[in-house]
Amino acid sequence: MTLAQVVYQLSTDSEFAARLQTDPEGALAEKGIQLSYEEKAFLTHGLRRSTRADGNLISMQEVASMYLGWR
Amino acid sequence: MAIDELESLVNRELDLVFRTIQSYFANFSISPPFKEVIWKSLSRLSPRPQSFSNSNLTLLFPRLSYQACGGSDHFPPEISAAWYLFYLAADLMDSVQDFDQRVDLANTPYSFSEWLNLASSYFFIANALLTALLDQDYDKRRVASVLKSFQERLLEMCEGQQQDLSTQEFSLSSYLEMLRKKSGAFFSLACYAGARMATDDLGCVKNLANFGSHVGSILQILDDLEDWHRLQAGESPLSRSLNWYKNLPTVYTLEVLPDDQKLAFRRVIDNLAERPEEWQSYVAWVNQTGAALYIMTMLTQEAELARKHLHNNRLQPIAQATLICVLNRLVGEN
């Protein structure tokens, strides 16, 4: 399973997302997902930067605003 | 390093780039009126001091890469000048081909066709700057490597652009590959050229080139986000000839959606051009699939891989730290 598909699972399956927070290895194994050490690190970091204080994921509009005027 | 220090480095580099172009320009056997047209167009495209943006920081890549690889004080400014001219030319051509409003081409004294002709002129001036290095007191083998690299990487960039223009719908992997060719090759070149002029240590040169490649991918992702900036600012999707199939959030969403939902999502995209109210529906689809998390993960991945290539204890520490600082600013991790 690719990183993109894991992100999709995480965004559409709240049980999986919750378990990933507490038991990442178990959650991934249960879904038969194999990610490299590096991929897990990228995802964890990406998740940290994409999670609001209320625990919800940020939207595309918010991501776009973060990089407003880069060019 | 603080942003004002980086900004001051960029302004100094830009000033040197213009002086270098001007000194070569004086000896070109083209008519004074055409020289004036080229010069005015260049000035129009160049960043103004009051409108500094993070993308201007990439102008530092050739010199910083040169310094990171232990180059002396005699960095050839022709490398930065040539790369900058290629950058402007590529940006111009991209804008014209995409009917993009990134460069405000419509409100200028030149037609789109004239802008394409000016972009071609920049290519030839850049080439003249680079070949002139062969007559100066630089290592000829290094200059030859740099010249070859300019030709190869720019052709790779053209290949990426060709894929972009000729493909209607990308898979996620082919889209990322196209980004790497279009932009990765170009920023890789900026770093390679500076590094190669400094050293024959090809391991260090490769590290810098790979760093540039990942930065290029980041910039291409940020370019896709820029389309969102404009729409959020109130620009109607109708007013732009954007192809929403060629945007990372869309490509990602089409990749991960189950087949039975892809059709409905495609219908929304197809309607965007004529029914602006579909924009909200489009946004709901990409948000529901986690496109924002995917983009943040990709930015993290490219930034981490870029940093990894600078973890080389043979690199000069100050230039190495400045390159990391530029990268951090680009990805908002400063």
Instruction: With beta carbons less than 8 A apart as the criterion, state whether B61 and B212 touch.
Output: yes
Question: With contacts defined as CB-CB under 8 Å, which chain B residues touch A40?
Answer: none
pLDDT one-digit tens code per residue, B255-282:
999 999 999 999 999 888 788 778 889 9
Tokens 């509009």 sit on residue: A61
In the structure encoding, which two tokens stand for residue B316, read together? Answer: 């000069």
Q: What is the CA radius of gyration of chain A?
A: 13
Which of A60, A61, A62, A68 has the highest number of chain B CBs within 10 A, making it the mutation to test binding with B?
A60
pLDDT one-digit tens code per residue, B69-126:
999 889 999 999 999 999 999 888 887 776 665 566 777 888 888 989 999 999 999 9
pLDDT at residue A34 in the model: 86
pLDDT at residue B227 in the model: 78
Tokens 């909200």 sit on residue: B280
Q: What is the CA radius of gyration of chain B?
A: 21
pLDDT at residue B232 in the model: 63
Inter-chain residue contact A11 with B225, CB threshold 8 Å: no
Q: What is the DSSP letter of B135?
A: G
B224: closest chain A residue by CA:
A64
Q: What is the pTM of this model?
A: 0.92
pLDDT, chain B, mean: 90
| B287, B288, B290, B291: CA torsion to nearest 10 | -40
Question: With contacts defined as CB-CB under 8 Å, which chain B residues touch A60?
Answer: 228, 249, 283, 286-287, 291-292, 295
| Positive or negative torsion for Cα A25, A30, A34, A39 | negative
Inter-chain residue contact B290 with A42, CB threshold 8 Å: no
β-bridge mates for residue A57, sequence order: A51
Q: Find the CB nearest A59 among B292, B301, B304.
A: B292
Q: Could you give the ipTM of this predicted complex?
A: 0.93
Q: Is the pLDDT of residue B284 over 80?
A: yes
Name the burial class of residue B319, with classes exposed (0-12), middle (13-18) and buried (19+) by CB atoms within 10 angstroms of its CB.
buried
Q: How far is CA B316 from the centre of its chain?
A: 25
pLDDT at residue B49 in the model: 63
Q: Using CA atoms, how far apart are residues B309 and B326, in angstroms rounded to an integer?
A: 14
Query: What part of A 32-61 touches B (C-beta under 8 Å)?
Result: 38-39, 41-43, 45-47, 49-50, 57-61
pLDDT at residue B278 in the model: 84
Distance from CA of A10 to the nearest CA of B (A): 8
pLDDT at residue B241 in the model: 56
pLDDT one-digit tens code per residue, B160-206:
999 998 999 999 999 999 999 999 999 999 999 999 999 999 999 99
